[in-house]
Amino acid sequence: MINSGKLLALSSLPLSTRLALGDQHWDLIVVGAGTAGLPTALFASQRGARVLLIEKAGTIGGTLFLSTGQIAGAGTVFQEKKGIQDSPEAHYEDIMRINHHTSDPELARLLVNNAGETINWLAANGYRIKDDHPVTGIGHDHFATARYMEGIQGGISILMVFKPLVEAAIRRGSISLLLNSGVVDLVQARDGSVRGVIVEDEDGRRTQYEGHNTVLASGGCASNPHLFEELHNVPLYVRAAYPYSQGAGLLLGQSAGGYLRGGEKYASLPGAILVDDNYPSPLYGHAPLYPPNRQPWEILVNSQGERFVQEDHLSIDHIEHRILKQPGHRHWAIFDQRMLDESPPLIPGWSAAPGWSAKRIMSESNQHAMFKSDNDLEILAVKSGLNPRKLKVTVEQYNADLINEREDLFQRIHRPLPIAKPPFYSIRMQGWTLCSFAGIAVNAELEVIKPSGERIKNLYAVGEVIGAGTTSGNAYVNGMLVTPAMTFGRLLGEKILPLS
């Protein structure tokens, strides 16, 4: 964790000082000091703006504390070092191919034309990436060109660049930071233009701050189960987002006359193993079901006990969209003892933890709600909540096609073993996400807009508050959240925001 003790947080100053700040007129008020808010504030301050940066948490950084921080851009110094040729156009085509042209095209263009410069700026300020990066992809569908990278410490590597620069700007007095302070309302003039914000501190005291422009950079709503479900029509199954991602900016933007869009672009990651059915549940385990890293040995079935996808399809986006069509987005991995003994771990480890061994899966079976086993396939189905007759037919057909060297029902190629040696196992998995696809509508200048398309004067939005669907579309495109959050924040601060 980064030590926040040195931050010159104004919330620790006496109330009278804070009220004095309320008497001042700021060039820019930034709501949220995370992935998007930090570059917005920093670059605007470097242009001479007097910035008030308001953060609800006790420290700056937001989702960068949790994020893998994988980013992508064309024309980076990291590509140059490895002799990789790339262009914004190729980046754009890759994004649109992967998400079936569901990103906002104008904002996707803005991103590809500027992402490389953002990454080069990070590099010039000490950002270092993993040795074998850039790569074409990790965990999601791959780009055609290697432009995807992860910092040595994930999202923290990005925060380590911004934090000292923002602290220096605070010391110079060009940024003033309020911590433990949540924006709860916007101040609007009669003509609808936004003139400032109302902030509530941890003791519930409210102060008004006036500014020439206000930027909503308060993140998404993937820690607010009610709002999330209302906007996406899907429960928030897993608790994985930053706790302050409560959707404040979505509601603030809406209250000023803006509107929310993009919930229908909800996309589901595969393979979450929940603790229980009390949503949102922490992750108990995770099977990425990502064929480029691990070819499947198991079959996947839905609650009917029927297969629904080519498990070794090379596009994880294809598998994710098939999962999205299954009841409750649930999917069960079905396998036998031989598969368990001989296959690489279905639930992989990471640097700090080994993958789940056969012994671990066996010990979880019939102990944990999501893990079942039995010598009889139909009894396994009953224990797992599946249709027993159909599961039996599904397994028989899978085995028969394999043994008789017939084409698989779903054209699956990787079929190392039949499901034949008891005991049989099931693991119940859940489609899930860690970000919100719905967000406040903005135009190509990142101004918050009304349903008529008219802008709300002096109000901008950047980061996940504009909706993951706006940038990443209805898919998980490599880096299409952190990169636009940082890049649009930089562009707002550096160029787009009028400062007088």
Residue number, 197 or 300, with CB nearest to ligand FAD = 197
Measured at the CA of 36, the angle between CA 316 and CA 192, to 5 degrees, comes to 115
Instruction: Please report, in angstroms and rounded to a whole number, the separation of the first and last CA atoms in the chain.
Output: 38
Residue number, 45 or 245, with CB nearest to ligand FAD = 245
Give start and end residues of each alpha helix (H) in 47-125. Answer: 77-81, 88-98, 105-124
Closest CA to 264 of 326, 324, 328, 331: 324
Task: Write each residue from 86 to 125 as x if it is in contact with ligand FAD (CB under 6 A), else as -, in one continuous string.
Answer: ----------------------------------------
Residue number, 253 or 257, with CB nearest to ligand FAD = 253
Task: Write each residue from 37 to 76 as x if it is in contact with ligand FAD (CB under 6 A), else as -, in one continuous string.
Answer: x----------------xxxx----xxx-xxxxx------
Stretch that binds ligand FAD, among 19-27, 163-171, 281-289, 458-466 (CB under 6 A): 458-466
Residue number, 247 or 296, with CB nearest to ligand FAD = 247
Residue nearest to ligand FAD (CB): 34
| Integer CA distances (angstroms), 431 to 216, 217, 227, 349, in order | 29, 27, 19, 20
Phi, psi of 249 (to 5 degrees): -65, -30
Are residues 5 and 179 in contact, defined by beta-carbon separation less than 8 angstroms? Answer: no
Q: Which residues pair with 238 in a beta bridge?
A: 281
Stretch that binds ligand FAD, among 32-40, 254-262, 335-343, 374-382 (CB under 6 A): 32-40
Q: How many residues bind ligand FAD (CB under 6 A)?
A: 42
In whole angstroms, the minimum distance from the beta carbon of 340 to ligand FAD comes to: 29
Task: Write each residue from 158 to 197 as x if it is in contact with ligand FAD (CB under 6 A), else as -, in one continuous string.
Answer: ------------------------xx--------------
- HSE-up of residue 361 (Cα within 13 Å, Cβ side): 29
Judged by CB under 6 A, the chain residues 383 through 442 that form the site for ligand FAD are 434-435
SS3 219: coil
Residue number, 290 or 424, with CB nearest to ligand FAD = 290
Residue number, 187 or 417, with CB nearest to ligand FAD = 187
Stretch that binds ligand FAD, among 229-237, 238-246, 317-325, 491-499 (CB under 6 A): 238-246
Of these, 248, 273, 438, 441, which contacts ligand FAD (CB under 6 A)?
Answer: 248
Residue number, 353 or 500, with CB nearest to ligand FAD = 353
In whole angstroms, the minimum distance from the beta carbon of 423 to ligand FAD comes to: 34
Residue number, 51 or 465, with CB nearest to ligand FAD = 465
Phi, psi of 257 (to 5 degrees): 115, 0
As a 3-state breakdown, the chain gives helix, strand, coil percent values, each rounded to 5, of 35, 20, 45
The 10 Å CB-count burial string (b at 16+, else e) for 30-57 is bbbbbbbbbbbbbbbbeeebbbbbbbbb
In whole angstroms, the minimum distance from the beta carbon of 326 to ligand FAD comes to: 24
Task: Write each residue from 194 to 223 as x if it is in contact with ligand FAD (CB under 6 A), else as -, in one continuous string.
Answer: -----------------------xxx----
Residues 6+ apart with CB under 8 A from 468: 220, 262, 265, 435, 436, 437, 439, 480, 481
Phi, psi of 206 (to 5 degrees): -110, 135
Are residues 38 and 170 in contact, defined by beta-carbon separation less than 8 angstroms? Answer: no
Of these, 479, 488, 494, 496, which contacts ligand FAD (CB under 6 A)?
Answer: 479
In whole angstroms, the minimum distance from the beta carbon of 289 to ligand FAD comes to: 18
244 near ligand FAD, judged by CB under 6 A: yes
Residue number, 373 or 483, with CB nearest to ligand FAD = 483
Residue number, 394 or 433, with CB nearest to ligand FAD = 433
Tokens of 360: 């671990």
- Strand 455-461 and strand 330-336: pairing? unpaired
Of these, 463, 469, 473, 493, which contacts ligand FAD (CB under 6 A)?
Answer: 463
Positions touching ligand FAD (CB under 6 A) are: 31-37, 54-57, 62-64, 66-70, 182-183, 217-219, 240-242, 244-246, 248, 434-435, 463-465, 479-483, 485
